[in-house]
Each structure stands twice: as structure tokens, then as C-alpha cells.
Amino acid sequence: MKNLSNSDYKKIHQNIETIQDEMFNLISELYPICRSITGDGVRQSLDIIKKHIDIEKKEVPSGTQVFDWCVPKEWNIFDAYIIDPNGEKIIDFKKSNLHVVNYSIPIKKKIKLEELKKHIHTIPTQPNIIPYITSYYNEDWGFCMSHNQLNKLLPGEYEICIDSSLKNGSLTYGEYLIKGEIDDEFLLSCYICHPSLCNDNLSGVALLTYLAKYLKNLKTKFSYRFLFIPETIGAITWLSINENKINKIKAGLVATCVGDSGNSTYKKTRIGNSKIDKIVSHVLKYSNTNHSIVDFYPYGSDERQFCSPGFNLPIGSLMRTPYRKFLEYHNSGDDLKFIKKESLGDTFKKYLECLFIFDKDEKFLNTNPKCEPQLGKRGIYRNIGIVRSDMNTDEIEQRELAVFWILNLSDGENSLLEISEKSGISFEIITEASLKLYENNLLKHIDSI
Ligand code: ZN
């Protein structure tokens, strides 16, 4: 197994079109499945992910107490429909699983239109769109349809059926760990509880699957843990079961809404200036793409649990257009056409770069700190491979300047990322130059002193 290196990173850039196509194909395969916070839809989805990475499927029984919450009964659905007074099937779960309120209890009866309307959800401002509605903790039932369809419903008696079950069972989640040289870890989390919705959040599922698939073949310093959990209750459950391990988490990202064509948005950790905050800011700054960075706020996705005051983990969220900020959020507009392969690819590159910096960043000590070492004597530029003849003048200058920055700032206080930030020279150039200086005994690892 080989080390994660700059050249691997470049190879990824060259293959990004294939990777983004494959991510899109995985989303297309997962899209038709009706998922929820529990049930066979989650298991089926994890089985598909298992074709790519050897994910561990975990089951937590209904009724398990997890902090202030309780793992709910397991919900499964087999069919649902509405037949109108003319005998026509006007709603069919098999055509879109969004037609049924997620976690609806079973029901089969004849019902008058006035009564049925109390259980129908629409979005009047987007009359062609079917909303996504859930009722996890309130035993109820309902249907979702376009507002236009609601307006066309005939008076009379309707036959309705929701063939579902809500019984003691379990909550299912997936976990995958890539063990590095050390146990300290980076946590990557996404949720697998939404039915046919793409950006929120099959995009996150595909992103983490492909990051794991790529990273598992490389030797890394840190360990990387990937979670595929139902949102909120899954994060609470995982934290409750793993409370004794969380001190190993040194950084993390929640992957949600990573496939739309909007700009990247980074939501900082609750801490606000942790290592991952610095890394993501750096990656976005050097990405040459428009982006925004926002402070932590206590609503959104699973960062709400990871960053609750009792944990306060250094976990942020790198997304594109945030949840609730796009019209297609939680409705049938969030389909395969809404996500873009190029956006998935761009997000993949940014995440990988964050992981690369996290794994490679370290502090060195200059072995010759009293005045500058005499570089000419060592033929430092040309002979040790910091600069090469195929580089342009700018690149050569950056690499030469990198040497001065690294030697001066390697006093045990500044990490390579901090040197990159202070010098304005890319992390990639700084790491390459530091490696050459280390090989020439001009730098020492801090822990080897
Ligand atoms: Zn959502």
C-alpha cells in the first residue's frame, strides 16, 4: 500500500470525469428506493454501497434509550394508493414514494373527499411539485401530491390504502473505518434516511462512498471513519453508543447537499477556529471558485448533534447551496436533473484536498536555526529536486521562496498549513519543498527531537 501523496492527488484530478460519472450512477441506482429513518430501504441502500466499500451494517433495537431519545419502531412500506370516485388510481406509491407521508401508519378504507383533504399535503406556491413530508414521532398518515392535482379532485368517495407496518424492529446504520498509522481520526458523516431525493442527500452518500473507495487503497497517517446514518436519531444513537471513543475525533465533515450547481458553502464548527475550519477555508481560497463561509448555527444537519455543547466536536459541513436555501429542497424537484455531475466532481476534489491537508499537515523544526543555512553550498534549489527544468518561472520562484518560508517558520510553532497561509504559497508546494528539506536533514520531525 502506498502513501497518500501529491501525485495521487493529481491523478484524481485527471480521472475526475470518470469519478463524477460513477457517483452520479450510484445516485441513480439509490434514487428509486423508499428510505426512512428505519426499515428495509436503509438496508437495501447499504447493500448497494457495500458493492463499493465493505461497510459494516449495524442494528440498534427499537426502544433503546439514546440520551433523551428512544430508538423508534421500525417502519416499512409495501404499497399505497388513492382510487377516485371514477375508479381511477390517481396516486400510486410505486410511481413516486414521495406520495406517502414518510412513517405513515397503515390504513385502508373508503373516505369522503372533505376528510381525505385533511391528510393531503401540497405546496401551493409550487403547484406542480410533490412535497416530502415526514411524521416520525407522531403516529399519523397522509398523502402528498401536486397542488394542481389537489385542485382537480372530484367530490365523492375515495378508496385509500397505505400498506405499511410500524413494529418493534431496529434502526439500521452503516459504518466504515479506514485504519491509519494512528487511532486519531477524521469523521465523515452523511444521512441515508431520505426517500427519492438527490441533492439532499444521496449526493452526500455517493460522495462518502467514493471518498472511502479511493482512500482505502492508500496508506494514511490518520484513521478515517465514514458514517451512513439516519439523520438526527442516527447521529444521536451513534454518539450514545460510541461516547467513549469520541475523544479520538480530531476533525470531521458532514456531507449534505453537495451536488447542486450552486457555489460551495462551508458551515464552520461550533468552535469556529479548529483545524478543519482552517483547512476548509484554505482549500476554498485556493479553489478559484466562488464560495461562502458561514459561522455555525444550531439547526441544519447532524452537526447539530456532533456540535452540541456536551460534545462540541470539531466538525463542520462543506456543502453547496445549503438546505432550505434552494426551491427544490424537500420536494420532487430535487431529482436526478437537479444535481450536476460537474458539481459532484468539484465537491469530491475539495473534500479530498481537505483530507489530504489534514493527513499531511505537521510541524517541523529547522535543524540549523542560527542564521540561514548556506543553501548555495548544498546546491539547494537545483540539486535536491525542489525545482525542475520543466517548471515555468513563476513556479520556480514559488518553490525557491517556499524554502525560505519553511526554514524560517519551522520553529516548532507553525505547521505546514500555517506556513502556506502566511506565505501565500500553496500547501502542495510547501509540502513538496518540506519533504526535500527533510531528506537533506535541514528539517526534523518535532516528535523525533
Ligand atoms: Zn432533508
Distance CA 230, CA 173 (A): 7
Identity of residue 272: G
Distance 200 CA to ligand 1 centre (A): 5
Cell representation of residue 355: 483530507
Distance 194 CA to ligand 1 centre (A): 7
Q: Return the biggest CA–CA distance within the chain.
A: 95
pLDDT, one tens digit per residue, over 285-312 is 999 999 999 999 999 999 999 999 999 9
Report whether 340 contacts 334 (CB < 8 A). Answer: no
Classify the C-alpha dihedral 293-421-359-356 as positive or negative. positive
Distance 330 CA to ligand 1 centre (A): 6
Distance 233 CA to ligand 1 centre (A): 13
Distance 153 CA to ligand 1 centre (A): 29
Classify the C-alpha dihedral 37-38-39-40 as positive or negative. positive
Distance 256 CA to ligand 1 centre (A): 9
For ion ligand 1, residues whose CB falls within 5 Å: 200
Distance 133 CA to ligand 1 centre (A): 10
Give pLDDT, residue 186. Answer: 98
Distance 191 CA to ligand 1 centre (A): 9
Per-residue pLDDT of the chain (449 residues; tens, 9 = 90+): 666 676 777 777 889 999 999 999 999 999 999 999 999 999 999 999 999 999 999 999 999 999 999 999 999 999 999 999 999 999 999 999 999 999 999 999 999 999 999 999 999 999 999 999 999 999 999 999 999 999 999 999 999 999 999 999 999 999 999 999 999 999 999 999 999 999 998 999 999 999 999 999 999 999 999 999 999 999 999 999 999 999 999 999 999 999 999 999 999 999 999 999 999 999 999 999 999 999 999 999 999 999 999 999 999 999 999 999 999 999 999 999 999 999 999 999 999 999 999 999 999 999 999 998 887 777 665 555 667 777 778 888 888 899 999 999 999 999 999 999 999 999 989 998 999 899 889 999 986 54
Report whether 83 contacts 159 (CB < 8 A). Answer: yes
Give pLDDT, residue 390. Answer: 76
Identity of residue 240: S
Give pLDDT, residue 449. Answer: 45
Distance 243 CA to ligand 1 centre (A): 25
Distance CA 63, CA 56 (A): 22
Distance 219 CA to ligand 1 centre (A): 34
Cell representation of residue 146: 401536486
Give pLDDT, residue 3. Answer: 66
- Continuous H helices in 202-321: 203-215, 233-241, 275-285, 303-306
Give pLDDT, residue 385. Answer: 63
Distance 383 CA to ligand 1 centre (A): 55
Distance 201 CA to ligand 1 centre (A): 7
Long-range contacts of 278-286 (CB under 8 A, 24+ apart): 278/417, 278/421, 279/251, 279/354, 279/357, 279/358, 279/361, 279/417, 280/253, 280/316, 280/318, 280/354, 282/357, 282/417, 282/420, 282/421, 282/427, 283/350, 283/353, 283/354, 283/357, 284/350, 286/426, 286/427
pLDDT, one tens digit per residue, over 304-350 is 999 999 999 999 999 999 999 999 999 999 999 999 999 999 999 99
- Continuous H helices in 267-392: 275-285, 303-306, 341-360, 380-383
Distance 193 CA to ligand 1 centre (A): 8
Distance 129 CA to ligand 1 centre (A): 16
Give pLDDT, residue 4. Answer: 65
Distance 64 CA to ligand 1 centre (A): 24
